[in-house]
A and B are shown apart, each in its own frame.
Chain A
Amino acid sequence: MARKTIRSIPQQRADMPVQEPEIRARNFDEVALGFDLENALLECERCLMCPQPACIEGCPVKIDIPGFISKMLEKDFRGAYEHMTDATQLPAVCGRVCPQEDQCEGVCAVGAGTGLEPVAIGRLERFLGDMAIKEGWQKSAQIEPNRFRVAIVGSGPAGMACAADLAKAGCAVTIYEAFHVPGGVLRYGIPEFRLPKSVVDAEIANLKALGVDIQCNTLVGRLFTIDQMLDDMGYDAVFIGVGAGTPHFMDIPGENLNGVLSANELLTRCNLMHAGDFPKFDTPLGLGKRVAVIGSGNTAMDAMRVSLRLGAEQVHCIYRRSEIECPARKEELHHAQEEGIEFHWLTNPVEILGDANNNVRGIRCVQMELGEPDNSGRRRPVAVEGSEFDFEADTVVYAIGTSPNPILGQTSSIGLNKWGYIDTDDDLSTSLAGVYAGGDIVTGAATVIKAMGAGRKAADSIRRYLGLRDTNVIYEPETSDFENSLFGIDLAEHCFTRIRQI
């Protein structure tokens, strides 16, 4: 095959249908509908198969991207899926919610200075993930149990990835989740129109098929402590992936008024408790007609787009910096703008105004201008003197970030850093022997794929800590039979062997 060049590949990205903005802004169906087979193959053609692919390095879990794309081009979709899922646990999720423009797609050679769009790696990943769910594919790994028991705290992306790797390594894995259903942020945070809950259900079913036991309604720290897990309950290792989760407020006057809530509360009520279907479901939401969301990260985008779908007539975004500094994914910002959300850049609230019944009636804001760059390199917004104005709103949603949940710090001797996040070394080991941590509770709010990457890294460390062999090596069955040995490995070693099914 002749070597592909920038000129020889399809210049345009393959078409992926998207629901029209006017229609989708009023329903919870998925916005992006995904590639069909023909378009997926067309997009695969755009990959240059670089000999030293930058995209793999750009992926936090190092998926062999040209590897799975070349299998897709051979129409070996099952093989492509198997190849991809050696590195990732949740392709149908990550293909949808990863900020690919900052990761794999951001460094793709096709998009580098050519004026072309990079290969749509995320969409291809999603295509394979969806196909696997539809066809019911499961990894054909056979698991050889070992004698170790590992507990995972939190069933979000970090916990799920760590659990899957350790289950494949033969450990008996139990996940403890505080909510009544597993999934973490995939369940309560990311709305249905970005990530259908059927996809989350399918990924959790995959985890259960690996033998992972999921215990809901368990708040570690209160029902039992980390210390008890290691002592009384006899776990050999523990992974903490509880996320950050405690929302920030600004501590300005009027925050206690009715109609002021955190984006976490809004999204939990809507996504987890189905408040949008009140009174069929019992949880109320009480959303007003004119909603103002403070902040412009991905959580803010989700909160705004959910509000719109729940019947708010106007949704406004209030952000103290300008559009250039907006931390949300470009695609999300674009979708939100298309759906009719109004953005007020360089605007900062100073007070929330209430009526006689202590309900929100508006926000007092000031105009901002950008001053000198701060430590993070972003220009610091400064209030313009005398620029105060009142902004009408009946619901105010805070989406200005989160801080670490205090419960594990309150109830164990685990070392925390000065911001209250769990302190770990490079192996993600905490100050307690055998206890590892990863994801938002270590790094602060980040992305799904980074949490997954941390979960996998911790699983690696836990395997080393338990003295397990590298489970990423697939041992071919041996032809002759050795006494007291399995594939040449001494059985006396508490080792793991994964056998390729023939």
Chain B
Amino acid sequence: MSDRGVASGRGEDLSVANRQNGSGKGVTASFPILTRTDFSKSTFLIEIEHPVMAKAAKPGQFVIVMLHDLGERIPLTIADFDREKGTITLVVQAVGKSTREMQLLCRPGREIYAMLGPLGIPSDISSKTKKVICVGGGLGIAPIYPQARAFKEAGAHVIGVLGFRSSNLMFWEEKFRAICDDFIICTDDGSAGIHGLVTQGIEAAIRENPDVDEVVAIGPPVMMRACTETTRPYGIKTMVSLNPIMVDGTGMCGGCRVKVGDAIKFACVDGPDFDGHQVDFDDLFTRLQRYRPEEAAAMKRYSDSCRRLALAPDAAPIEGGK
């Protein structure tokens, strides 16, 4: 039996044990997946039932997820929440072992072993912000949505700037159009909207709207840095959502420390949102490289075991292992 089979089996047993110990009144005993949508070959959305968290979550916060009891704790931004349905939504990009495994295992009817949240300080949605540009790129497109919505609800004029690699990878366009006053799409290959990066979209938006008070950018660190450099000459306040390596997510290990201005901050309790013009991005890039060799090794090992499973269909425990 593969490790993965063992892992998912044990995960389920423990969830059952949690439910029993929770004696029915448990607020956080289990984390069932209700729906799943695939946006592309590597990006997918899962909606997880957690009424208490759906009630508590605010834009800008994140969760720490552990897929099974052999798994690692990974931070994921809360892409959306539905207080009435009692669900929170995560958008995952399969980039390494754990997220690839999530792509395989996270299906409706299954459960996640552990999910802690909402974590971090909610984004500052100030009613003083009259005009805001909300920028999302790559992984950041989903989590910028609740922020844009919150700005809209607070009465701001919201300009959405979204960057995709190509038009066939686009998602949530209607959702954004419904809450944005202006909406700019940028694609790397020019298959939709502006041919180029989100920074060009930001430039365009600022030209049109010189009275913008704030830019909020979420996406890969390289993109967020580019956004801060774009707005710096204009002196427009620019908030970014940092994504350093995390373990506990509660402020007790300092694995996620980042340099902001002259101070050391823990992104999990002091952030994850910071003033982009103060953030030391070089420091963040360096520290994100910390476990590259281990990540590559884990990924290779996982890919190899997947290939073995594909060769021996009888041994595949994934779909039938309910």
Q: Which residues of A contact B (CB under 8 A)?
A: 174, 178-180, 208, 213-219, 222-224, 243, 245-247, 249, 251, 255-258, 261-262, 264-265, 268-269, 273-274, 278-284, 286, 358, 405-407, 410
Q: Give, as a whole number of angstroms, the nearest-CB distance from B30 to chain A.
A: 10
Q: Which residues of B contact A (CB under 8 A)?
A: 3, 18, 21-23, 25-29, 31, 52-53, 56, 61, 66, 69-73, 97-98, 113-119, 121, 247-248, 250-255, 257, 259, 264, 266, 269-270, 280, 283, 286-287, 289-291, 293-295, 297-298, 301
Given contacts A256-B287, A279-B298, A286-B294, whether A219 and B250 have CB atoms under 8 Å apart is yes
Residues in A with CB closer than 8 Å to B121 are 410
Q: Is the beta-carbon distance between A405 and B252 smaller than 8 angstroms?
A: yes
Interchain CA distance A262-B245 in the complex, whole Å? 14
Q: Is the beta-carbon distance between B27 and A283 smaller than 8 angstroms?
A: no
Considering the complex, give the chain B residue whose CB is closest to the CB of A208.
Answer: B21
Considering the complex, give the chain B residue whose CB is closest to the CB of A246.
Answer: B251
Given contacts A180-B66, A405-B250, whether A273 and B72 have CB atoms under 8 Å apart is yes
Q: Is the beta-carbon distance between A219 and B269 smaller than 8 angstroms?
A: no
Q: Give, as a whole number of angstroms, the nearest-CB distance from A83 to chain B.
A: 30
Pick the contact of A216: B25, B28, B264 (CB < 8 A): B28
Q: Give, as a whole number of angstroms, the nearest-CB distance from B266 to chain A.
A: 8
Q: Is the beta-carbon distance between A217 and B28 smaller than 8 angstroms?
A: yes
Q: Give, as a whole number of angstroms, the nearest-CB distance from A486 to chain B.
A: 26
Considering the complex, give the chain A residue whose CB is closest to the CB of B55.
Answer: A224
Given contacts A245-B251, A283-B73, whether A213 and B25 have CB atoms under 8 Å apart is yes
Interchain CA distance A243-B253 in the complex, whole Å? 13
Residues in B with CB closer than 8 Å to A284 are 72, 291, 294-295, 298
Considering the complex, give the chain B residue whose CB is closest to the CB of A189.
Answer: B252
Pick the contact of B27: A179, A180, A215, A282 (CB < 8 A): A215
Q: Is the beta-carbon distance between A282 and B70 smaller than 8 angstroms?
A: yes
Q: Give, as a whole number of angstroms, the nearest-CB distance from B287 to chain A.
A: 6
- Apart from the given pairs A256-B286, A405-B250, 8 other A-B contacts in the complex at a CB distance below 8 Å: A180-B114, A213-B22, A258-B287, A261-B254, A269-B247, A281-B72, A282-B298, A284-B72
Considering the complex, give the chain B residue whose CB is closest to the CB of A261.
Answer: B255
The 4 closest A-B pairs by CB, nearest first: A284-B294, A265-B253, A180-B114, A282-B72
Residues in A with CB closer than 8 Å to B115 are 217
Q: Is the beta-carbon distance between A214 and B250 smaller than 8 angstroms?
A: no
Given contacts A258-B290, A265-B247, whether A251 and B264 have CB atoms under 8 Å apart is yes
Residues in B with CB closer than 8 Å to A286 are 290-291, 293-294
Q: Is the beta-carbon distance between B259 and A256 smaller than 8 angstroms?
A: yes
Residues in B with CB closer than 8 Å to A219 are 116-117, 119, 250
Q: Is the beta-carbon distance between B248 and A268 smaller than 8 angstroms?
A: yes
Q: Is the beta-carbon distance between A265 and B255 smaller than 8 angstroms?
A: yes
Q: Give, as a whole number of angstroms, the nearest-CB distance from A252 to chain B.
A: 11
Q: Is the beta-carbon distance between B66 and A280 smaller than 8 angstroms?
A: no
Residues in A with CB closer than 8 Å to B116 are 178-180, 217-219
Q: Is the beta-carbon distance between A178 and B294 smaller than 8 angstroms?
A: no
Residues in B with CB closer than 8 Å to A245 are 250-252
Interchain CA distance A264-B252 in the complex, whole Å? 7
Q: Is the beta-carbon distance between B98 and A407 smaller than 8 angstroms?
A: no
Residues in A with CB closer than 8 Å to B280 are 256
Q: Is the beta-carbon distance between B21 and A281 smaller than 8 angstroms?
A: no
Q: Is the beta-carbon distance between B18 and A216 smaller than 8 angstroms?
A: yes
Residues in B with CB closer than 8 Å to A265 are 247, 253-255
Interchain CA distance A444-B264 in the complex, whole Å? 21
Interchain CA distance A258-B244 in the complex, whole Å? 13
Residues in A with CB closer than 8 Å to B31 are 217
Q: Give, as a whole number of angstroms, the nearest-CB distance from B88 to chain A.
A: 11
Interchain CA distance A462-B295 in the complex, whole Å? 48
Residues in A with CB closer than 8 Å to B69 are 180
Considering the complex, give the chain B residue whose CB is closest to the CB of A214.
Answer: B21
Pick the contact of A256: B22, B53, B71, B283 (CB < 8 A): B283
Residues in B with CB closer than 8 Å to A258 are 286-287, 289-290
Considering the complex, give the chain B residue whose CB is closest to the CB of A256.
Answer: B283
Q: Is the beta-carbon distance between A213 and B23 smaller than 8 angstroms?
A: yes
Q: Is the beta-carbon distance between A249 and B113 smaller than 8 angstroms?
A: no
Interchain CA distance A174-B270 in the complex, whole Å? 28
Q: Is the beta-carbon distance between B56 and A222 smaller than 8 angstroms?
A: yes
Q: Is the beta-carbon distance between A215 and B29 smaller than 8 angstroms?
A: yes
A-B contact pairs, 11 of them (CB 8 A): A215-B28, A219-B116, A222-B119, A223-B27, A262-B254, A264-B252, A268-B252, A273-B73, A279-B298, A281-B71, A283-B73
Q: Is the beta-carbon distance between A278 and B294 smaller than 8 angstroms?
A: yes
Considering the complex, give the chain A residue whose CB is closest to the CB of B96.
Answer: A282
Q: Is the beta-carbon distance between A180 and B290 smaller than 8 angstroms?
A: no
Considering the complex, give the chain A residue whose CB is closest to the CB of B252.
Answer: A245
Q: Give, as a whole number of angstroms, the nearest-CB distance from A460 to chain B.
A: 26
Interchain CA distance A268-B245 in the complex, whole Å? 14
Pick the contact of B257: A249, A269, A358, A407 (CB < 8 A): A249
Interchain CA distance A268-B256 in the complex, whole Å? 14
Residues in A with CB closer than 8 Å to B254 are 246-247, 249, 261-262, 264-265
Q: Is the beta-carbon distance between B250 and A223 smaller than 8 angstroms?
A: no
Interchain CA distance A279-B3 in the complex, whole Å? 10
Q: Is the beta-carbon distance between A268 and B72 smaller than 8 angstroms?
A: no
Q: Give, as a whole number of angstroms, the nearest-CB distance from B7 to chain A.
A: 9
Q: Give, as a whole number of angstroms, the nearest-CB distance from A273 to chain B.
A: 7
Residues in B with CB closer than 8 Å to A224 are 52, 56
Q: Give, as a whole number of angstroms, the nearest-CB distance from B247 to chain A.
A: 6
Considering the complex, give the chain A residue whose CB is closest to the CB of B253.
Answer: A265
Residues in B with CB closer than 8 Å to A279 are 294, 297-298, 301
Residues in B with CB closer than 8 Å to A223 are 27-28, 52-53, 56, 117-118
Q: Is the beta-carbon distance between B113 and A280 smaller than 8 angstroms?
A: no
Interchain CA distance A122-B248 in the complex, whole Å? 32
Residues in A with CB closer than 8 Å to B286 are 256-258, 358
Residues in B with CB closer than 8 Å to A262 are 253-255
Q: Give, as a whole number of angstroms, the nearest-CB distance from B304 to chain A.
A: 11
Considering the complex, give the chain A residue whose CB is closest to the CB of B301.
Answer: A279
Interchain CA distance A109-B255 in the complex, whole Å? 47
Residues in A with CB closer than 8 Å to B255 are 261-262, 265
Q: Is the beta-carbon distance between B257 and A256 smaller than 8 angstroms?
A: yes
Residues in B with CB closer than 8 Å to A255 are 264
Interchain CA distance A222-B18 in the complex, whole Å? 21
Interchain CA distance A9-B98 in the complex, whole Å? 61
Q: Give, as a whole number of angstroms, the nearest-CB distance from A163 to chain B.
A: 14
Interchain CA distance A251-B261 in the complex, whole Å? 13
Considering the complex, give the chain B residue whose CB is closest to the CB of A228.
Answer: B56
Interchain CA distance A47-B61 in the complex, whole Å? 58
Q: Give, as a whole number of angstroms, the nearest-CB distance from B75 to chain A.
A: 13
Interchain CA distance A217-B119 in the complex, whole Å? 11
Interchain CA distance A222-B289 in the complex, whole Å? 29
